[in-house]
Structure 1
Amino acid sequence: MRIGLLTEGGYPYATGESRLWCDRLVRGLGQHEFDVYALSRTADQEARGWIALPPQVHLVRTAPLWSQDDDGLTYGRRERRRFAGHFKDLAAAICGEGGNFASGLYGLAELALEYGGLPGALRSEAAIRILESACRTPGANRTVQAARVPDHLAFAALLERALRPLSLGDWYDEDSLGAVDLCHATSGGSAALPGLLAKRFFGVPLLVTEYGVRLRTHYLDLAADQVPAPVRALITSFHRRLAAEVYEQAAVITPGNTHARRWQEKCGADRAKLRTVYPGMEAGRFAAVGDAEDPGETDTLVWVGRIDPSKDLIALLHAFAEVRKEEPGARLRIVGAPAQGPEGAAYLSHCRALAAQLFPDEAADQHAVGSNPVSFEGIGGPETPDLSAAYASAAVVVLSSVVEGFPISLVEAMFCGRATVSTDVGAVVEVIGGTGLVVPPRNPRALADACLALLKDPERRDRLGAAARARALELFTVEQNLVAFNGIYLDVISHCPVRRKGGAQQLFANPAELYVAGPLPSGAHVPTWAGADQ
C-alpha cells in the first residue's frame, strides 16, 4: 500500500511534535510505501534538517508555513470574479452563520491549482474589502463586527498562512498525492488540507490522527500571544470550520485519548468514525528499571518534563514544602529543560528563586544534588545520565500540570513500575486508569497529601507500581500502535474503490489481502486485471 503521510511541524524534520511517533510508524510498517508531505513551521526547523529516513520512504516533499510566499501572479478579470465569489463564501461562513465554507475552500483550491496567485489575492485590497463587508453583516458575530482595518489585515495574513497548502500545485497531480492509496494526516489543521484536496481531486481516502487536537492548540496559542479579540474570533472560527470539514471528509479519525475524542465530537466528528489509538512508546528503554526489584530512593519525589508555566511547578514546590514538614528527609528532583525562548528561562529562574525562598537554610548550592532538598537537573549529567536513571531514583513520580494532553512522563514512569501522583488534567485519568493517585490541579495541599500517603506506605507504592507497569505494557507500546494502524489502513482501503486513469471505479476491486505479505488465504478471489501499481 502507498501511504501519503501528511505532517505539519514534525516528521521528517529533526525537531518537531510528531517526528518520533511518525518515525516509529514508518519504520514499523515496512510492508508499506510512504510518501511524506511535510509543512515546516520555522526557519530554524528547516535549518536543522531531517532525521535519517528508512528505505520505505520513497518521496519527500516539503513546504514552509513561516515564509512570505507570493508567486507574483495577478488575476485577470475572470479570475478576480472567481476569487471574489469563493472568498465571499469563505468569509461569510467565518464571520457568521451564512456562506458556504466548503464551497469557498475548494473553489479557492481549484483556482490556485489552475492559475496560482492565491497568496497575493488573499492579502489584496479586494480581499480586505470582502472581509470587511462580511464582518459588518447583521448576522456576523458581535466580536467580529468590532474588527477594524488593522484587524482585517492581521487576520488576512494568518489566513494566507493557514491556506498555504492550497497553493502547492506540484503536490496535486497524478504522480504525487493522486498516486497514493491513502492519505494519513498526522494532525488536523493545515496538515490535513492536502488530504482534503487529494480526496476532492482524486478520491483518495483520508485518515486523520490527532494526539493533541489542533483546534485546542490554536485556542491556547492565541490566548498566550494576546491576539486582539476580533482577530482571535476570526481565526478561531476559521479553524473550527476547517476542523469540521476535515472530520466530515475523513474516512476514519483516530484520537490519541478520550480527551482528544471529546474535542473532536464537539467539533462535529461522527462517533462512528472515531477509533482511539494510544501513542506508541518504546518500553524497552525502561525495561531494566521495570524488571528490577529496586524500589528507588524511598524518600524521593521525581518530576520529569519541559519546564514552563503550564506544568505549575510553583504549586509543586509549595506542596513539597508541606511534605517536608512531615517527612524532613524527603527530596524533590525536577528533571528537564526549560521551554524554548525567554519565557521558559524566566520561569525556571522563578522556580529556582522560590525553592531558595522556601528552603533558605538548605539552599547554599541550588545546582548540587543532595545539598538542597530540591534539585533542578538536566538529562545527561552524572546524576541523571538518561531518563530511566531519573525514574529509577523515584519513590513517587509527580505530575503537577494545569494543562496537559497525553502525559508522556506518566507512561514512562508506569513502564518503570513507579507509583504516581498526578493532577486531573487532559488524559491523565484515562492513562493512569486507577494505578496512581489523582488530585485537583492548582491545589498544593491535595498534592502534598497524596505524595505523603504514598511515601508513608511502601507496600501500596509497590502494588500501584506493578499495576501501572502492567497497564502501560498492555496499552501504550509501539507494537500495539503499529498493529492498530496497520489494521485501520487495510480496513479503509478495503472500503474504497480502486482508481484507474480513464477507467471506471470499482468498489472492492482489490481485496485487502493483496497488501499482506505471503500467500493469499484459500478461496480469496484476485481480479485478473488487478495491476501491480495498486
Structure 2
Amino acid sequence: MRIAMLAEGGYPYARGEGSAWCDRLVRGLARHEFEVYALTRTGAHGTLTQPPNVTRVRSLRLYGPPPVGGASRRRGLVLAQYRDLAGVLAGGGESRDRFATALYGLAELARGDRGVPGVLRSEQALGALEDACRGSGGAMGVSDLLIAADLLERALRPMSARWYHPHGEGLARADLCHAVSGGAAVLPGLLAKRFFGTPLLVTEYGVRLRETLLAQRAAGLSAPVRALLTAFHRLLAEEAYRQAALITPGNAHARRWQERGGADRARIRVVYPGMDHARLAPAAGSGGGRTLVWVGRMGPAKDLAGLLQAFAAVRAAEPGARLRIVGTAEEAGGTEEYPAYCRALAARLFPGGAGDAVSFGTVGSSETPGLAEAYGSGDVVVLSSMVEGFPVTLVEAMFCGRATVSTDVGAVREVIGGTGLVVPPRDPAALAAACLALLRDPERRARLGAAGRERALELFTVEQNLAAFRDIYLDLVADPAGLASPAEIPIPGHWHADHPGHRRPAWAHESACVGAARQEDPA
C-alpha cells in the first residue's frame, strides 16, 4: 500500500515528540510504502534518517518568498477566484460551501501553474483583498493588508506544489493520504481527494486550529488580520473534517474540539499516541518518602509558580519534604527567562534554605542522565499545568510506576483514569493537600503507581498505536467512504461487576479524589 504522509513544521526535518511518533509509525508499518510531503518553515535541511520503506521525501517551504515560477498563464481567472475567496473570509466565513467552491476553484487554476503564488502577492491581489474587506465593513490599513495578504498566500501555497499531476509520481500514486496534523498539512490531502478520489485520514494529537489561533494572538497580529485568518483556518478545518474518511484525535479532549469544529462523531476514532516505554522501567524509590518531582519543559503554562507556592504549604506541614524540578533536554535551546524567574521565586519562598527544599536539574545531566532517573528521584510526580493537551510527562510517570498528582486540564483525567489524584488548576491549596496525602501514605503511593503502570501498558504503548493504524489503513483503502466500526477504541473504565464478561481492571479499585479533586471515566 502507498501512503502519502502529509506533515507540517516537523517530520522529517525536526526532532521532537511529533517527529518521533511519525518515525515510529513508518518503521512499525514496514510493509507499507510511504512518501512524505513536508511543509517546512525554512526548507529541506537536516532530514532525519529514513527507513527503506520511505521511498521519497518532498518538501515545500511555507515561509519566505514563494519559489520563482514565472508568469501565470491564467492571471485574470486566478484574481477572480481569489476575490471570491477573500470575500468569503472578509465576511466572517459564514458559508462553508462558498469557501469550498472558491478554494477548489483556485486550486484547479493553481494545479500545474507555478506562477499563482506570484499572482497572490501582486498589487492586483492586494487590491482584491482590500475591496473585499471594505465591502464587508472591515477595512484594513495598508500595513494590516500587507500582513494579511502575505499570510494568506503562505496558507494557500501548498496548492501550487508540483504534487498533483494526474500522470506524475506525486499524490496521484497514493492509495491513502494521511495528514499527521491539522492546519496546512490537510490542504494537499483535500486536493488529492478532489483530483484523484484518494481517501483522507486526519490525525491530530493537538488541535491545530486552537494552536494556530493562539499563535496568531501571541504574534501580536491586529484584530482585523486575526479575524480574516481565523475565518480561513476555521473553514479549512471544517472542510477537512467534512471530507476526511476518518479523523483520529489523540484523546477525547481533542475529539470534543473537533466536534465543535463540525466533525461528525461517526467518523472519529480516538487513537492514543504510542510511546516507547522500554526506557521507562519501574523506578526504585530514592526520594526517601518525602520528595516531590516535576519533569517537563519549563514555561508559564506549566504554572511552576503555583507549584512552588503549593510546596511552601507542604514544607510547612512536613519540614523534611523536598521538591525536584527537572527540565527536559529540549530546555537547553529555549529561553532562560522563566526558569530564572522560578529560581528567584524559590529563593524568596525559602530564604536561607532554598537549596535544601527545592533543587533544579536537567535530564541528560550527570545527576539525571535519563527520564527514568528523573522520575525515580522522587516519590510522587506532580503535574501543575494551567494548559495541557495530551500530558506526555504524566504517561511517562505512569510507565515508571510513580504515583501522580495532576491538575484537571486537557486530557489529564482521561489519561489518569482512577490511578492518580486530580485537583483544580491554579489552586495551590488543593495541590498541596493532594501532595501531602500521598507523601504520608506509602501504601497508597505504591498501589496507585502499580495501577498507573498497568493502565499505561494497556493504552499508551507503541504496539497499541501501530495495531490501530495498521487496521485503519487497511479498512480505509478497502472502504474509502469511511469505517463502519465504533467511533472509539475501547477504553477501560468503571465496569459493573454483575455484567457478563466484564472485568473490573485492577486500577479501577482506587478512588483517587482529594478535597476538590474530581474523577471521570475517559470519554
TM-score (norm 2): 0.87
Aligned to 2:469: 485
1:467–1:16 Cα change, 3 Å? closer
Larger RCO (CA under 8 A, 6+ residues apart): 2
Q: Which residue of 2 aligns with 1:522?
A: none
Alignment partner, residue 283 of structure 1: 277
Q: How does 1:61-460 map to 2 (within 5 A)?
A: 61-75=58-72, 79-96=74-91, 97=94, 100-138=98-136, 145-170=138-163, 172-174=165-167, 175-289=169-283, 294=285, 296-337=287-328, 344-363=335-354, 371-460=355-444
Q: How far is the alpha carbon of 1:295 from its aligned partner?
A: 7.2
Whole-Å separation in 2 of the counterparts to 1:26 and 1:384? 31
* Displacement of 1:343: 7.7
**Contact (CA 8 Å) 2:68, 2:115: kept in 1 or not?**
yes
Query: Aligned partners of 1:350 and 1:281: how far apart in 2?
Result: 32
Identity of aligned residues (%): 61
TM-score by length of 1: 0.86
Residue 187 of structure 1 and its aligned partner are, at CA, apart by 0.5
Match of 2:51 among 51, 54, 60: 54
Question: How far apart are residue 297 of structure 1 and its match?
Answer: 3.3
Say whether the 8 Å CA contact 1:215–1:240 is kept in structure 2: yes
1:56-85 CA-partner distances (Å, limit 9, x unpaired): 111111122223114252345xx2331122
Partner of 1:38: 38
Aligned to 1:501: none
What residue identity is the alignment partner of 1:203?
Answer: G
Q: Once the 2 structures are TM-superposed, how far is the Cα of residue 492 of structure 1 from its aligned partner?
A: 0.5
Gaps of 5+ in 1: 364-370, 498-534
The residue type paired with residue 95 of structure 1 is A
Distance change >3 Å, CA 34–CA 404, structure 1 → 2? same
Read off the aligned partner of 1:322 and give its amino acid letter. A
User: SS where residue 38 of structure 1 aligns?
Assistant: strand
How many residues of Structure 1 are paired with residues of Structure 2 in the alignment? 477
From the superposition, tell whether residues 66 and 95 of structure 1 become closer, same or farther in structure 2 (CA, over 3 Å).
same
> One-letter code of the match for 1:334?
I
CA drift of 1:409 comes to 0.2
Q: Work out the CA distance in 1 between the residues paired with 2:149 and 2:330.
A: 29
Contact map agreement 1:9 1:17 (CA 8 A) in 2: no
Indicate conservation of the 8 Å contact 1:70/1:117, yes or no.
Answer: no
Query: 1:119–1:160: 8 Å Cα contact kept in structure 2?
Result: yes
Change (3 A) 1:111 1:274: same
Q: What is the Cα deviation at residue 173 of structure 1?
A: 4.2
| Deviation digits for residues 6-39 of structure 1 (CA, Å, limit 9, x no counterpart) | 1111111242552111011011111111111111
Q: Residue 338 of structure 1 contacts residue 344 of structure 1 at CA under 8 Å; is this kept in 2?
A: no
Q: Is the 8 A contact 2:112 2:164 kept in 1?
A: no
Task: Describe the SS at the equivalent of 1:115.
Answer: coil
Q: Shift in Å at residue 352 of structure 1?
A: 0.9
Shift of 1:341: 10
User: Over aligned residues, Cα RMSD in angstroms?
Assistant: 1.9
SS in structure 2 at match of 1:361: coil
Distance across 2 between alignment mates of 1:149 and 1:351? 42
- The Cα shift of 1:461 comes to 1.1
Distance 1:125 1:342, change over 3 A: farther
Contact between 1:295 and 1:462, CA under 8 Å: does it hold in 2? Answer: no
Distance 1:469 1:245 in 2: 39
* Structure 2: distance between partners of 1:460 and 1:27: 39
Contact 2:111–2:164, Cα closer than 8 Å, also in 1: no
Tell me how far apart the structure 2 counterparts of residues 376 and 42 of structure 1 sit (CA, whole Å).
34
Deviation, 1:149, is 2.3
Supply the AA of the counterpart residue of 1:412: E
1:217-260 Cα shifts (integer Å, max 9, x gaps): 01211222221111111111110000011111110000000111
- Shift in Å at residue 421 of structure 1? 0.8
8 Å CA contact retained: 1:282, 1:477:
yes
Q: Which residue of 2 aligns with 1:26?
A: 26
- Contact 1:308/1:338 (8 A) holds in 2: no
Cα distance in 1 for partners of 2:447, 2:329 equals: 33
1:442 and 1:70 mapped to 2: Cα distance? 47
Once residues 368 and 344 of structure 2 are traced to their aligned partners in structure 1, the CA distance between those partners, rounded to angstroms, is: 22
